[in-house]
Amino acid sequence: MTEKMTVDMIPEIALQYISEGHKVALATVIETWGSSPRPVGAQLAICEDGSFMGSVSGGCVEGAVVAEAQEALQNGTCRVLEYGVSDEEVFAVGLACGGNIRVLVEPIGVGQGPSVQVLEYLVAKRAARCAIGYKVNLENWERAFVTPRDVPEHFAKDRSGIEGAEFTLIYNPPLRMVIIGAVHIAQSLVQLARIAGYSVSLLDPRESFASATRFPDVTVISEWPDEAMRSISPDARTAIVTLSHDPKIDTPALEIALKSDAFYIGSLGSKRTHGKRISALEAAGFTAAQIARIHGPVGANIGAATPAEIALSIMAEITERLRKPETRR
């Protein structure tokens, strides 16, 4: 997996494996009941040698799914597997934690599976940040792509699922996080964001902050944040966090953020600092309703004290905003 790939970028990982000469199958959770550990849409990319990336359970059934995928790559057959607490060998191939799942296994470019071109098209659409849905008929294995125009509610709710004999997997654009300010908190927040599946852009024009020593595995954009953010074009799958604590850096970035569709905007600072920030944004012509989009002081109220804990509180608040969009301060 390359540095910029996150754990939820399974189509991209599968295509990379194929480019490296591997045979690859995709396994996708298509239905769940009870306390299944992974939601509908969770995926595995599985190579012919048994190596894999991703997950379809909490580790309960991955081994069995990998074995089925290896067989599918040999004979070219797609299959739907079901696992649950009723299985005889519950701790070997069942969900010991409870619940049931159905998993679709598709060998890429083999037999009944989708072609490599289908995967390439999907990855290209995701790279262009286009919302796309992949539909497969579980009886005749015919496939098609759908867009938000076809099933708008499914994309709005990020909802994959089965209707009749057809399973539709919704791929909204990958999540992104734009962090302004290469400060101590950012060192932890970058790691947490990547673990949570976000691709991260770190912006800071101050060379002493944005050094390779402090951020060895991160490409830091050294342009002024307002200029950099115009090229990033934040959308509804983007979270923006300002951490520099310098109004010359944070405020121009917030002005761009407030004009965007970013689902989360947060800004570090005390209540007093945030009050000054509000005054500056009001002077720039922003309304109270627009400014209210900013989570400031940033982060969930968990009593965080250290930079790592503050990063954790920020990640928690962003997650709540993503999963519960009705949440307001």
Blockwise average pLDDT, block size 10, the chain, 329 residues: 59 96 97 81 95 86 94 97 64 57 96 97 93 96 95 86 94 92 96 93 91 86 89 93 93 96 94 92 96 94 95 97 74
Closest CA to 202 of 217, 216, 181, 230: 181
Q: Which residue is associated with the tokens 């993503």? A: 322
User: What is the dihedral angle through the alpha carbons of 17, 154, 163, 28, rounded to the nearest 10 degrees?
Assistant: 20
Do 119 and 15 meet the contact criterion of CB atoms below 8 Å apart?
yes
Strands of the sheet with 79-84, listed across from one edge: 52-54, 43-47, 24-33, 100-107, 79-84
**pLDDT value of residue 96:** 54
Nearest alpha-carbon partner for 107 in 156, 166, 48, 63: 48
pLDDT of residue 327: 62
Please choose, from the candidates 247, 274, 268, the residue with its C-alpha nearest in 3D space to the C-alpha of residue 179. Answer: 268
Which of 151-156's residues contact partners 24+ apart within 8 Å by CB, and which partners? 155/131
The count of C-alpha atoms lying within 13 angstroms of the C-alpha of 183, restricted to the half-sphere facing its C-beta, is 19
Rounded Cα–Cα distance for residues 80 and 317 (Å): 36
Q: What's the token pair of residue 176? A: 């992104």
Please, what are the domains in the chain? 10-171 (no CATH), 176-323 (3.40.50.720)
The confidence score (pLDDT) of residue 8 equals 72
d(CA 295, CA 328): 9
User: CB-hemisphere CA count at 13 Å for 64?
Assistant: 24
**62 and 93 in contact (C-beta within 8 Å)?**
no
